[in-house]
Amino acid sequence: MIIGFAGLGSMGAGIVGRLLDAGNDVLGWNRTRARAEELAPRGLRVADTPADLAREADVVFSMLTNAAAVEAVVRDALPALSAGTTWLDLSTIAPEESRAIAALVAPTGAVFLDAPVSGSPATVAAGQLSIMVGGDRDAFDRVEPILHQLGPKVGYLGPQGAALVMKFAINLSLVVQGMSFCESVAMAEKAGIEREAAVDAVLKSVIASPMLGYRAPMILDGRMPEIPFADVALQQKDQELGLGLAQELGTPMPFATLANQYLTATSAAGLGDREWIAAFELFRRLGGSA
């Protein structure tokens, strides 16, 4: 089985690395070709276009910035798609956008699934990525063994778009937890507790979580990644898609709405190009500690 992968950013490149390490034949494409060529020494074959990728691959993955990018890549690949190909889109886009792209793919006989992930490059490296899938159940069953090469947490959520709904629900909760962590540690530090000791205490407490496990240490000196896993703008894009869905459904999201406002404030404070957990600095300033 040949696997194609479109979109080799930090997450995509990490996923491709795991697929290669598992012994798969992987063909990759990236808009900036140099990103794909960086993986060539590990065994990645580089495709010139999305169509070249789709023509050869039995399974295609995509992990792209937004729905416009996903649609552009799919449209390029459409003439090369054929019956039996399964396309898993790992991108975080709106459910209705995923359904529209699936409808574009359907006449080719290929199947397009929404398959958003929960995790970070650190999660990928540890082989602990969580993957949620929505769409045709038979297609999911065919590709599930490949997904388990990326992590043990693979789940089928229902029809097209269902996995994206769940991704938004998780992301909304994730930022609420992150903001609560930031304000709590800022308070502890102002009370005289060393920041490192406060972070350590949180990670040993009942409120510890996998997300805090890899993000909480980032607020310590020198631990903030130079290239963010998710900067404020990227995280807020997901938040606003989720809050928009909640509004359509008539579901109140007071805590998530407030957490999103603190993302806005973090950006306004000049921290928007950093990992979004840099909101900790905002809470320190609000508390008079900086």
Spell out the domain ranges in the chain: 2-159, 165-286
User: 238 to each of 107, 182, 244, how far by Cα in Å?
Assistant: 30, 20, 10
Angle between helices 195-203 and 162-190 (to 10 degrees): 140
Q: Is the dihedral of CA 118, 124, 129, 133 positive or negative?
A: positive
CATH class of the region 165-286: mainly alpha
Side chain identity at 155, as an amino acid letter?
G
Average pLDDT, the chain: 96
The token pair that represents 230 in the structure block: 């998710």
- Give SS3 for 22: coil
% pLDDT > 90, the chain: 91
pLDDT reported for residue 60:
98
The token pair that represents 95 in the structure block: 């459910």
CA atoms of 215 and 213, how far apart (whole Å): 6
- Give SS3 for 46: strand
Which residue bears the tokens 């490149």? 13
pLDDT reported for residue 141:
97
- Residue 239: burial class (beta carbons within 10 Å; 0-12, 13-18, 19+): buried
Taking residue 71's Cβ as centre, other Cβ atoms within 10 Å add up to 16
Mean pLDDT for the stretch of residues 157-185 = 97
**Residues facing 112 on adjacent strands:** 87
User: Angle at CA 69, nearest 5°, toward 52 and 96?
Assistant: 115
Cβ-count burial 136-145 (b if 16+ within 10 Å, e if not): beebbebbee
- Residue 227: burial class (beta carbons within 10 Å; 0-12, 13-18, 19+): exposed
pLDDT band for 290, please (50, 70, 90 cuts): confident
165-286: same fold as 2-159? no
CA atoms of 64 and 241, how far apart (whole Å): 16
* 288 φψ region: left (φ > 0), alpha (ψ -120 to 50), beta (else): left
Question: Are the C-beta atoms of 123 and 132 separated by less than 8 Å?
Answer: no
CATH superfamily of 2-159: NAD(P)-binding Rossmann-like Domain (3.40.50.720)
pTM for this model (two decimals) = 0.92
pLDDT reported for residue 121:
86
> What tens digit of pLDDT does each residue of 115-162 get?
999 988 888 988 999 999 999 999 999 999 999 999 999 999 999 999
